[in-house]
Copies of this chain bind each other. A is one copy, B any other.
Amino acid sequence: MAEEQTKVEPEPAEKAPAKPERTTQRRPARKDAAGNVVFIGIKPVMNYVLAVITQFNEGNGEVVLKARGRAISRAVDVAEITRHRFLKELVVKDIKIGTEEVTGDRGTSNVSTVEVTLVKGA
């Protein structure tokens, strides 16, 4: 149950079929030094909030939310809801924005990305 929640698939429309270097991001979230990753897609916000809470309850000190395109605003929602309503000790450690090339039906296009790193505050 917990593991299924952890691996949240990106929304199908945003999948890039031919970018081998990105396949590492599709693996199930690992518990390593970089912290666990929750991919934000098109599911309801609370699904992702639950995934983040699960990560912290499993003992992780850091969780990274990753989103692309229109899911970026949902990632911000997930971060805000989690830290204001559920885990009030959470702190936004870092926010990064970037651009990825996505190869879709209509050729290559650029999509914005965001990474929000949440950590348990002191």
Point out the residues of chain B lying under 8 angstroms from A114, CB to CB: 76
- Report yes or no: B95 in contact with A79, Cβ–Cβ below 8 A: no
* Copy count, this protein chain: 2
Contact B112 A97 (CB under 8 A): no
Q: Judge whether A19 is part of the interface by a CB distance below 8 angstroms.
A: no
Contacting residues of chain A (107-122) with chain B, CB-CB under 8 angstroms: 110, 112, 114, 116
Q: How far is the CB of A109 from chain B (nearest CB, A)?
A: 12
Are A112 and B77 in touch, CB under 8 angstroms?
yes
Tell me whether B97 and A79 are in contact (CB under 8 A): yes
- Among residues of B, the one whose C-beta sits closest to the C-beta of A114 is B76
Query: Please, which residue of chain B has its CB at the minimum distance from the CB of A94?
Result: B95
